[in-house]
């Protein structure tokens, strides 16, 4: 065979460097739905969802939250119905938050320690329905204080150690009512350890703690405060106890302290603006880490969806997938039932 014939039989790609185009074509695996699913690195499922619900006194009551389109405060009987709905959809847990009658708000937050307060009644009612669903209750005083703060206000400042005593009393009535997970969101120093010791002493050794370890002093909470009725009562701001939005190392320190004090899970709040915090905590501490897609995030997305600027189902699922990609073990989201239906439809469609 002549040298010219040898050259004609040689591959036109023999001089292409390994690892370069056209030998490597990343688009190959993207060309079909089945292949995209086959190589997906991150998956969102109904098992990742916790549904926050607001409860209100009365019977058969649905009270819309104006700043959160599609979200309503539900009376206890309808909260039980929502728990049935969540169970049917496969949502693992609900998080209950109360709209406290303004007449029951006091400087000392005494309604928080009432065994028959709204969230305790709702918890017992859901328990009596014998549903296979977890109940998460928030441990903080802001739904119960006359001034709207998460702690006790004494001589113009939030008193850390006095607040711990109040939080422990609140946590114990919630555990007695049947809460599976207590979620301290108050950001007082030492509160996880104080609650954990009280639970152990009281015989509630299996009650879990999901600590809002990295809760930032954020402007994204406004609609939530409308929903629980603290917008009009809040005096000042919460920057002396909630975290500075500029800090990341501090979040790791807070999370590590809470885990050492007995927290079983960690929360990052808000969610989308703090994906870097979520990723750092989940990677560095290797503990179950959750994100809260807060009321302001929900309201922004809903405003764009209602105006036709965004494709609702697609953008909601994409937003939650971002939390999973950043390392979230799960997400608290007001979109939970909507997403559960969307995921079900995708699976069966």
Active-site residues, by number, are 215, 269
**Rounded to the nearest 5 degrees, what angle is found at the Cα of 264, between the Cα atoms of 88 and 255?**
120
Contact indicator for 221, 250 with CB cutoff of 8 Å: no
**Rounded to the nearest 5 degrees, what angle is found at the Cα of 191, between the Cα atoms of 141 and 238?**
50
Spell out where the chain has E strands.
Answer: 49-55, 62-64, 72-74, 93-98, 134-139, 153-154, 157-158, 181-184, 208-215, 265-269, 289-293, 330-333
Contact indicator for 151, 188 with CB cutoff of 8 Å: yes
Query: What is the C-alpha to C-alpha distance for residues 184 and 188, in angstroms, rounded to an integer?
Result: 9
SS3 318: helix
Query: What is the C-alpha to C-alpha distance for residues 81 and 209, in angstroms, rounded to an integer?
Result: 26
Query: What is the C-alpha to C-alpha distance for residues 181 and 190, in angstroms, rounded to an integer?
Result: 18
Angle formed by the axes of helices 312-326 and 336-348, nearest 10°: 100
Contact indicator for 86, 94 with CB cutoff of 8 Å: yes
Q: With DSSP H G I counted as helix, E B as strand and the rest as coil, what are the percentages for the chain, rounded to 5?
A: 45, 15, 40
Contact indicator for 75, 55 with CB cutoff of 8 Å: yes
Query: What is the residue whose two structure tokens read 């919460």?
Result: 238
**Using CA of residue 84, residue 169, residue 264, residue 332, what is the dihedral sign?**
positive
């Amino acid at each position: 065979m002549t040298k010219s014939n040898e050259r004609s039989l040689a591959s036109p790609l023999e001089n292409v460097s390994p690892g370069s185009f056209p030998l490597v074509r990343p688009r190959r695996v993207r060309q079909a739905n089945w292949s995209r699913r086959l190589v997906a690195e991150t998956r969102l499922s109904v098992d990742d969802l916790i549904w926050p619900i607001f409860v209100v006194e009365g019977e058969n009551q649905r009270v819309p939250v104006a700043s959160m389109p599609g979200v309503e405060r539900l009376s206890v009987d309808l909260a039980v119905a929502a728990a049935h709905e969540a169970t049917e959809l496969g949502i693992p847990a609900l998080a209950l938050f109360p709209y406290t009658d303004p007449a029951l708000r006091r400087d000392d937050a005494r309604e928080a320690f009432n065994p028959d307060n709204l969230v305790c009644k709702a918890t017992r009612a859901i328990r009596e329905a014998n549903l296979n669903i977890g109940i998460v209750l928030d441990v903080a005083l802001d739904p119960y204080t006359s001034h709207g703060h998460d702690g006790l206000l004494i001589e113009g400042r939030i008193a850390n150690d006095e607040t711990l005593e109040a939080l422990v009393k609140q946590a114990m009535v919630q555990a007695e009512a049947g809460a599976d997970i207590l979620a301290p969101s108050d950001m007082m120093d030492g509160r996880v350890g104080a609650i954990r010791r009280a639970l152990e002493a009281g015989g509630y050794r299996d009650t879990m703690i999901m600590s809002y370890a990295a809760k930032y002093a954020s402007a994204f909470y406004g609609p939530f405060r409308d929903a629980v009725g603290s917008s009009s009562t809040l005096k000042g701001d919460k920057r002396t106890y909630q975290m500075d939005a500029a800090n990341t190392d501090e979040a790791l320190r807070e999370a590590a302290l809470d885990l050492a004090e007995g927290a079983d899970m960690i929360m990052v709040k808000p969610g989308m603006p703090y994906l870097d915090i979520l990723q750092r905590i989940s990677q560095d501490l290797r503990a179950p880490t959750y994100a809260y897609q807060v009321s302001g995030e929900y309201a922004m997305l809903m405003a764009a969806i209602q105006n036709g600027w965004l494709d609702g189902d697609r953008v909601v699922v994409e937003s939650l997938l971002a939390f999973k990609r950043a390392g979230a073990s799960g997400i608290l989201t007001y979109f939970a039932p909507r997403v559960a239906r969307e995921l079900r439809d995708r699976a069966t469609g």
